[in-house]
Structures are given as structure tokens and as C-alpha cells.
Amino acid sequence: MGVKGLQSFVERCCPEACVSVNLREMAGQHVARSNQDRAASPNTTGPIIAVDGMACLRHWYSCKDWVCGGQWREYMDVLRSWVGAFTSAGIRLVFFFDGLVKEQKRAEWVKRRRRVKGEISKIFLYMKARGQQPGRELFCLPSGLATFTSFALRSLGQEVFSSIQEADYEIASYACQHNCMGILGQDSDFIIYDSAPYLSVAKLQIGSLTTVLYDRRRFCRSVGLTVAQLPLLACLLGNDVVSEEWMQNIRNEATAAYRINKPAPHPGVSQGQMVLAVSHLVSSVWDGQEREKGLIPQSLNLSAFQREILKKGICCYLLPGQEALQRGDIPALPSTPAFEKYVSPDILKACREKHVAGEGFMVYSVLCEGVTECSNTLEDEEDTELIPQALVYKRCRQLMYGLLLLHGHDGSNADLPAVKEWFVYPGNPLQEADVVRPLLAGLPCDIPSLDLLWFSSGPEVSALRLTSFLSIFDCLDFSELRGAIEDSLLAALCLVTYTVLQVQTLSEEDVDAYLSQAVCLRLKSPQELQQIKLPFISSRAVQLGSLYVRGLSHLLGANCASGCPLPSAALMPWHSFDGRLFHSKYLLAHNDTEKTVLLDNSPSCLSLFVCLREKLMEACRKRGRILHSGRKAAEKSHKPTAGHSGSLVRSPVSLRVPHYPEGRAVMSSMCAVAFERTTIRHQVTVRGGGKWKWQRQQETTRGKIKANSEIDVGKEEEDREEVIFFTPNLISIMMEDLQNNPEDDHTALEEDTDWHRDGHSLLHPECNMNVNRGE
């Protein structure tokens, strides 16, 4: 959750409540207090910090590249180092992650998803305009980061919980019950809960283990409240349960009354006066009896709706054993699981246990809640060539739902269950959930019961689990590969094959990029991966990287539903995917690079790659899916027609260009990049020293040029950097010059070459090309 404006108010207006602490010293003091009174903490073996994992993700993911799909091995090293810093101080960490979105928070969830959607649009505009990754001001977490971080921490020996209720509530409850030394997170709700001290992860210095502690009792003294009154303050200010708009009239009245009594504005942000005004209101209307019983003051001018919603909001802050507003304890499970009649009680129990322990994925939300959701993915709304990931993987989800829910069902529409999906993708307004029906998998036998898949043993059951898993991705042909190749490669092959069958616009080059990076990743260290240089960023490759990682989470869900035929570790991205490596392979594959070079000149990698590729091609041929080269398909589908203005098949390349003497262009041999054929007329803008436009009036064939090439078509200022955009037409002309001068690595196109100046323009007469400066 989070209280509107409270965090900034505490930091700016209540400095006495922000205490700098050293966690090593704090741990020692905590142990000393525990030794003095063992009865108060019988289950405590040492200092514990409850960690809000969701709040830490942005601080953990410090890797340079993030748009490419994630630097997962580097990220694993970050987590290992971070955990080690606390372990060396004798501090035990317990991590909590959001398990699902409660319906009372759905509106707020949708609002945030729409906001992030707008930010992602800006990211793609930036990449297509500049050919590079945006700065941290447009930072977006890699897809699936929260899901895979939970598994990563468990692999590092850490205790991890996935929430069933509101995650903040479970964190505060755990910290209170286990006498934790603190809660590490970045959420003002932890000031409101009467629980362990709230420690800031944003202020954490991992090297020295120092941070800021937000002291709720000092805060209360600053605003004239008691700790028991904080939940009412939080709800009147607005949070994820009590919308800010619903209590607007109460805050307005409180602020007006406060200004009459205290006309001098409080130093700090304007929000500060409102927090003080509402605090004064709560203190003035809450008498002793109401404070004792935890009731909402009757003197508050509230409608019936406002009073009821305030009760719900305050209940969210009351931990077990604390006073409640005439309500029972918040239930740990829904009274009736969504699909109780389709599965056994033992399955529901096991499902919940796996979910809480962070070992399951998607299965609990489907069986017990009947709802599943997926947050934002790096997808370009303007790119109609690629299908949104939610739709790409919809069929495999339907087959997974069928495995979970259709045992003994004949597949008819009668009494067919339905799952509500809240998936963010281009074209989905998120006004309501998508209702998705399960499908019967094409198994060679009847759908097995979950009790058999989950609880039975023996070679026949093991084989049935694998068959069930492969059927969800239409990859039954690959069962013979189990044991012949690594499990992570088998999973990668299934995922790429399924994706190719679903997305008709994927090409041979895309498949080569996916498979080559999965094969080569096994032999690369995190340091080698960090040293990979990318000449530019392709927005299409960004989408394909995110598509793959989202697919890994679907593999994980299908594996859980099938009784885990594959170890979960084999489905983790650090075993089959690296964003920077994939991006480099994508650029090479789309450049006609020899397979030996694509596979790092490794005979073993090449042999394995060829084997996987042949299996994929064979599976596709059996289903009538014939893969084509992306270049040939582009030429075939983008022939010019009368009156057609033409469009780039791919985003133009964007490179940094330093200034050189006026009218000169320099090519430097670096890394070759291929571009598809394009037609007729385009316009390119150079940002920095004004606009530069070019026009091409005739069709050219596919051209190549050396990436990282440097070009200057005019001079604004000495040593000033601008960005220029290369397109296939312009590159084709320049490449011809390179081919005509093979003896020199650097070819200068001066005024005495085919290029010549005309005012502020560079002209090339043979191909009717001009590059000119305009306003």
C-alpha cells in the first residue's frame, strides 16, 4: 500500500523521526535485549530483518543493460553479494514478495499499470529515435524480475515467502510475531503498522550497512498523535484501499480549520500543512473511549459509505492480537476456493503451501482465486508485426488451465470453468478481466489427475509428468531429448518452438539468435557477458528479449502444474538467457553472419546448435509452419506500389556522430550490420544542431555498412556530438564507396568525390540522393 505524501512529509518536516543507524550495531543491541528477556522471543535465534522484496527490486537491479531483457547472471552476483553483506554481520534475512493482487486493490493496480504503459511508450520512442537505451529516468524493470528473484534468493539459501494477503500486512505481522530487529523496505505503510522499526532500503549503504530508521513514535510526538491513531490518519490521507478522492472533503475541512487556528504555514512542502491539519483533526475528535475500543470517532462528518470504507482501511493495519473494529481476524484463505469442485482438498492444501514457500507459480492464483495477472512488458504499441506477449502465450495458459481443471471433463462447454486474466498488453484498456476458458491438451492419453501428477511416484508417473509439460507447448516430439541435452536447453527449445508456432512473423534469423545465445551462454562468465559491445539497440530485439523471458515464467507455471518434471533451476533465465548476449546474436544473425562465428567459433556449441535447430525445424514442418529468412520476407512483402510512401521494415540505426571538417564523411570498419530493402521516400531528423533531412526517390537493394560508422554532413560547433540516423538507402550508397576503396579501412567522401556541396546540402547525383539542413 502506501500513504499519500506521508514519506516525503516525514523526511522534510520531521527530521527528528529520521534516525541514521548502523545495522551491525543495531543487530548487536537487539541480541543483547533478547538475551535479557528470552521469554519475549522464544523462537528467535538471532537478529532478523523482514525484507520487502518488491521494494528492493529497483535497488538490486543495478546492471547497466535493462531494455535487452535482463543481465541475469550479473544480477545473481549482485544478489549474492547483497545477501553476503548481511550474513557477515550475523543478520538473518526473511524475504516477502507479492503473491497476488487483492480485488480491493485492483483499481490502484490498473492505474499504475496504465502509468507504466505510458512510460514504456516513451522508452520505445527514445530507442527508435536514438538507437540506444534511455537513461535511468525512463528505467523499467526487466520482465519477470520479481518472479525469478524469489527463486534466485531461495537458491542462495534464503527464506522466502509469497503473500496470500496484502504483502505489507504479512511483513508487518511476521516482524511483530518474530521480534524482528526491523523491516527493510520503502513504503510509508510501515510507519503506520505497530510493528518492528521501519528501515529504508533507498537509504541503505550496503558497504557500511548503514541506513535511515523512520521512528514512528517520534513521528507521533511531532504531529500530536498516538500510535493507535495512525491507521485512521493513513486512511484519511488516502492509500491503496481508501482512495484519496473519497476523503477529499474531510481533508479540505481539516485544512481550512487548521489554517484559521495556525495561519503560519509549516516549513516544508505544501503537503506538510495538510498532514498536520488531518493529524490535528484526528487528535481533536478521538476521545478516550474511542481510543480504547479502536472505533472511528462519531464526531467525524462521514457518510455511511465513507465510514464503511474507513473500517476496511483501518482493519488492514491491525495486526493479529491488536484491537479490531468489531471484525474477526483477516482470513488467511478465501472461504471457498474458486475451483474447489474441480480438485481435491489435498491439491488445494499443497497448492497453498507451495505458493507461500515461493516454490510455485501461477497455480495457486488459478485454483484458489480463479484470477491471474501479468504486469507490463517492454512492448511497442506501434509495432503491429509482433503479437503482444499475453496473446502469444494465451494458448499455453489455456492448456495449463485444462491440465489443472479438466480431469474427467469431456471438453464440452457445459459447466466449463473460466479464469479471469488481468494481463497488460497493447490494445487492452484494462477495464475488466479477460475471461479465458481452458483447453484440452493433445495428450496421447486422458488428462491425468493432479493427485497422480503431484503425489505419486515411479518411472511411469515421471514420464507422464514430462508428457503433460511438453503437451502444453505442443512439443511432445522432444521427449526423447530428456537426458540427452541439459534440462535448461530442453526448456529453451520448447519455448522457442512454441513461440515460432504462435508468431508467424518470426524468421530464421530470430530462431538463430534465440538458440545460439542459449547454447553459448553456458560457456560465458558474468564478466564476459558484461564486456559484450552492442553497436546499437534494436527495438524489435528488445521486444523479442522480453517475449522470451515472459515465456520462461509460463514454462515455470506449466512445470508446477505438471508436477515438476523439470527442476525449477532449469527454467531460470540465468541458465538460458542473457539480454546483452541475445541482442548481440540478433544483430549478427540478421547480418548473414556465418554460423561458426555466431557460435563463437566453438565446434561443440555449433554441433549442439545444429541439433536443436534441426529439431525445431522438424517440429515446425510437421505442423505446416515453414520458416523463412526475415530479409527475403521483407523484400517480398515491401515491394513498392503506385502512390505508396513506403516504410522502414526495421527501425533505423542511430549512432553518435562527432563533428569533422564540413562536408566530410568518414567510415570506420567495426561491426557489419545488415538492413532490409526499403522503398521510395523517408525523412530522418538529426537532433542537436538543427534538422537534417534526406530524401531518396528510387528503390535500392538491401545494403550493408559498418556499424559504429562516423558521419558528418555539416558542422554546427567544434567537438559537438549529434545523432544521425542511417537508413538502408543512404547506407547502400556509402557501402558502394567502401567497396570501391577496399585498400583503405577509412574512406573519406570529400567534395571531390561523387558527393558535392550545394549550399547546406550534400548531393549524390547518381542516385538522386541529397542530405540537407532544414529548419
* pLDDT at residue number 736: 53
Q: What is the pTM of this model?
A: 0.80
- Residue 373 CB-half CA count within 13 A: 19
Q: Are 150 and 168 in contact (CB under 8 A)?
A: no
Q: CA angle 739-675-619, nearest 5°?
A: 125
Q: Are 252 and 245 in contact (CB under 8 A)?
A: no
47-51, 578-582, 655-659 — which is least confidently predicted? 655-659
Q: How far apart are CA 542 and CA 631, in angstroms?
A: 19
Q: Are 566 and 469 in contact (CB under 8 A)?
A: yes
- The model's pLDDT over 252-268, given as tens digits with 9 standing for 90+, comes to 888 888 888 775 555 54
pLDDT, average across residues 690-715 = 33
* pLDDT at residue number 444: 82
Q: What's the DSSP call for residue 18?
A: E
Query: Judging by DSSP bridges, how do beta strands 371-374 and 691-696 pair with one another?
Result: unpaired
Mean pLDDT across the chain, nearest whole number? 80
Cβ neighbors of 659 (< 8 A, separation 6 or more) are 712, 715, 716, 717, 718, 719, 720, 721, 722
- The model's pLDDT over 621-660, given as tens digits with 9 standing for 90+, comes to 999 999 998 765 443 333 333 333 222 233 333 333 333 2
pLDDT at 411 over 80: no
Smallest CA-to-CA distance from 377 within 141, 538, 576 is with: 141
* pLDDT at residue number 252: 87
In the numeric block, which cell numbers belong to residue 396? 499455453
* pLDDT at residue number 36: 75
Which class for 464: exposed (0-12), middle (13-18), buried (19 or more C-beta within 10 A)?
buried
* pLDDT at residue number 140: 94
* pLDDT at residue number 415: 79
- The model's pLDDT over 499-534, given as tens digits with 9 standing for 90+, comes to 999 999 999 999 999 999 999 999 999 999 999 999
* pLDDT at residue number 266: 52
Give the type of residue at 199: L
Residue with cell 484559521: 260
CA dihedral 631, 755, 644, 642 (to 10 degrees): -110
3 state SS for 219-283: HHHHHCCCHHHHHHHHHHHCCCCCCHHHHHHHHHHHHHHHHHHCCCCCCCCHHHHHHHHHHHHHH
Place 105 in a pLDDT band, splitting at 50, 70 and 90.
confident
Q: What's the DSSP call for residue 341?
A: G
- The model's pLDDT over 165-195, given as tens digits with 9 standing for 90+, comes to 889 999 999 999 999 999 999 999 999 999 9
Q: To the nearest whole percent, how much of the chain has pLDDT over 70?
A: 76
Give the type of residue at 59: H
Taking CA atoms, 272 is separated from 228, 269, 401, 691, in Å, by 21, 5, 50, 46
14-23, 460-469, 640-649 — which is least confidently predicted? 640-649
Q: Are 614 and 478 in contact (CB under 8 A)?
A: no
Between 763 and 580, name the one with better pLDDT: 580
Give the type of residue at 352: R
Taking CA atoms, 97 is separated from 55, 147, 171, 415, in Å, by 9, 9, 9, 34
Q: How far apart are CA 574 and CA 142, in angstroms?
A: 13
pLDDT, average across residues 63-90 = 96
pLDDT, average across residues 534-543 = 96
Checking 114-122 for CB contacts under 8 A at 24+ apart, the result is: 114/430, 116/140, 116/375, 116/376, 116/424, 117/376, 117/424, 120/376, 120/378, 120/379, 121/381
Give the type of residue at 668: S
DSSP annotation string for 684-738: ---BSSSEEEEEE-S-----EEEET-EE-S--SSTT-EEEEEE-HHHHHHHHHHH
Q: How far apart are CA 465 and CA 471, in angstroms?
A: 10
Place 22 in a pLDDT band, splitting at 50, 70 and 90.
very high
Backbone φ and ψ of 48, nearest 5°: -120, 140
Place 732 in a pLDDT band, splitting at 50, 70 and 90.
very low
Q: How far apart are CA 243 and CA 235, in angstroms?
A: 8
In the numeric block, which cell numbers belong to residue 153? 534468493
* pLDDT at residue number 102: 85
Smallest CA-to-CA distance from 179 within 24, 323, 35, 316 is with: 35
pLDDT, average across residues 274-299 = 72
Between 116 and 773, name the one with better pLDDT: 116
Q: Is 55 helix (H, G, I), strand (E, B) or coil?
A: helix
In the numeric block, which cell numbers belong to residue 3? 500513504
Smallest CA-to-CA distance from 342 within 329, 351, 353 is with: 351
Q: Are 627 and 617 in contact (CB under 8 A)?
A: yes
Q: Are 376 and 114 in contact (CB under 8 A)?
A: no
pLDDT, average across residues 329-335 = 45
Q: Are 254 and 299 in contact (CB under 8 A)?
A: no
In the numeric block, which cell numbers belong to residue 501? 508456432
Write b or e for each residue in 2-13: b if 16 or more Cβ atoms lie within 10 A of its Cβ, otherwise e.
bbbbbbebbbeb
DSSP annotation string for 114-163: HHHHHHHHHHHHHHHHHSS---GGG--PPTTHHHHHHHHHHHTT-EEEE-
- The model's pLDDT over 222-247, given as tens digits with 9 standing for 90+, comes to 999 999 999 999 999 988 888 888 88
* pLDDT at residue number 731: 47
Between 325 and 153, name the one with better pLDDT: 153
Taking CA atoms, 440 is separated from 403, 406, 410, 726, in Å, by 7, 7, 9, 49
Q: Are 49 and 199 in contact (CB under 8 A)?
A: yes
pLDDT, average across residues 113-123 = 95
